[in-house]
Structure 1
Amino acid sequence: MLEAAMSLFVEHGYGATTIDSIAREAKVAVQTIYFSFGSKQQILKELIDVHIAGDEDPVPTLERPHVVEALEAEDPRQQIRLQVRLTREVYERVGPLLEVLRNAATTSGDGAELWEANKRQRQVVQRRFTESLVAKKALREDLSVERAVDISYVLLGPELFHLLVTERGWTPEEWEQWVYEGHCHHLTGAQE
């Protein structure tokens, strides 16, 4: 059911995808969709949660082994490299769904609460990575934590990934390298 919904959301958008169309695509009864998820918005939330994590394990983002490894990297540039790579991998899995959610939130208001929650979570993650750079004494002295969080939030946002990769045709690896270099420059002052 989730894969059918994903296919329809990405191909047709949130507004044009109905519970009926998801049921037809998944070859199940409409009542099965409602019983399993309750609403179209809940289906989208489930899809995003699973694809961000890459699995169905209920482990918070900041406790996932690869995230912990990145945060614990001794070299600040290695931390940034791993952070950007992890973000690229997430967006390769979930980028189209986040664009569906963003569009639904801005055009119809449906999903606005979910989109705002996603943005808040991304800010929490960026703050934790910034605090890790502060602890390593790697954050530029002339840069406040708040400004550093803002820079990370924008550079690592799905909106920028969508613009450069989907609309402008950059490869995900080109995006990753450019964002890595930008992070090093803007947050630590290091040139790569």
Structure 2
Amino acid sequence: MPESAKRPYSSPLRAESARRTRLLVRDAAARLFIDRGYVSTTVRNVAEAAGVSTRTVFTAFPGGKAELFHEVLHAAIEGDGAAAPTQVPRDGDPVERILDQMVGFSTDVLERAGTLMTTSIESSGADDDMRRFADEGARASAENAMTLAEGLAAHELLRPEISVQRAADVLFTVVSPQVYSMLRRQCGWDVDEYRNWVKATIRASLLH
């Protein structure tokens, strides 16, 4: 066959098999990271839980455990298309609508990814990759809190004595994965109790 007639071999079935294997490994890693923590989970553990070889894990995730955790956390934050966003009523108190939207979004993310976020924080003292993930998460949360605080200020919802920076600090703390973990996991609050507490705390601390 002439060289010009040759085409690179590509199999849709092989690509789909690789995708399924990647998801299988990722989901097994997610369970182990949540149950055992990051430091105590090894790539061999993940391979055994997924029913594949260690080599297969590294083929799917060449960066090893750090890449696996990044993929697991990203999928949880994004929701993988599985979770519907919290529905926000269009009528009633406009401040309540804003709170419902703010708190609903953050609660949805924490329900999916809060335990993994806490895992990265708890493991940050023992692992450089976890320290980087925890630092990146904290910066992203602080930036998001500032954006929300600026939005509240723009709508003139903050009390006069509350600065935008103070509002951002309060929001950063109240919706943090640490507080979420304490109330939802350690204290056993259900998600509605947690959501209502967050809204009430923001109202009492920041708003007119």
Contact 2:115–2:177 (Cα < 8 Å) also in 1: no
The CA distance in 2 between the partners of 1:171 and 1:30, in whole Å, is 38
Q: List alignment gaps of at least 5 residues for structure 1.
A: 57-65
Q: List alignment gaps of at least 5 residues for structure 2.
A: 1-24
1:10-159 to structure 2, matched below 5 A, reads: 10-37=34-61, 38-55=63-80, 75-159=94-178
- Secondary structure of 2:161's match? coil
Q: What's 2:5 paired with?
A: none
What percentage of residue pairs aligned between the two structures are identical?
Answer: 26
Letter matched to residue 49 of structure 2: E
Q: TM-score, normalised by structure 2?
A: 0.78
CA displacement, residues 104-157 of structure 1 (integer Å, 9 cap, x when unaligned): 113444410111000111111111111111111111111111110000000000
CA RMSD of aligned residues (A): 2.3
- Relative CO higher for 1 or 2, CA cutoff 8 Å, sep ≥ 6? 1
The CA distance in 1 between the partners of 2:207 and 2:120, in whole Å, is 33
Q: TM-score, normalised by structure 1?
A: 0.84
Q: Aligned pair count? A: 178
- Secondary structure of 2:32's match? helix
The CA distance in 1 between the partners of 2:66 and 2:97, in whole Å, is 37
Q: Max radius of gyration: which structure? A: 2
Letter matched to residue 4 of structure 1: A
Deviates more, 1:120-129 or 1:108-117: 108-117
Q: What's 1:63 paired with?
A: none
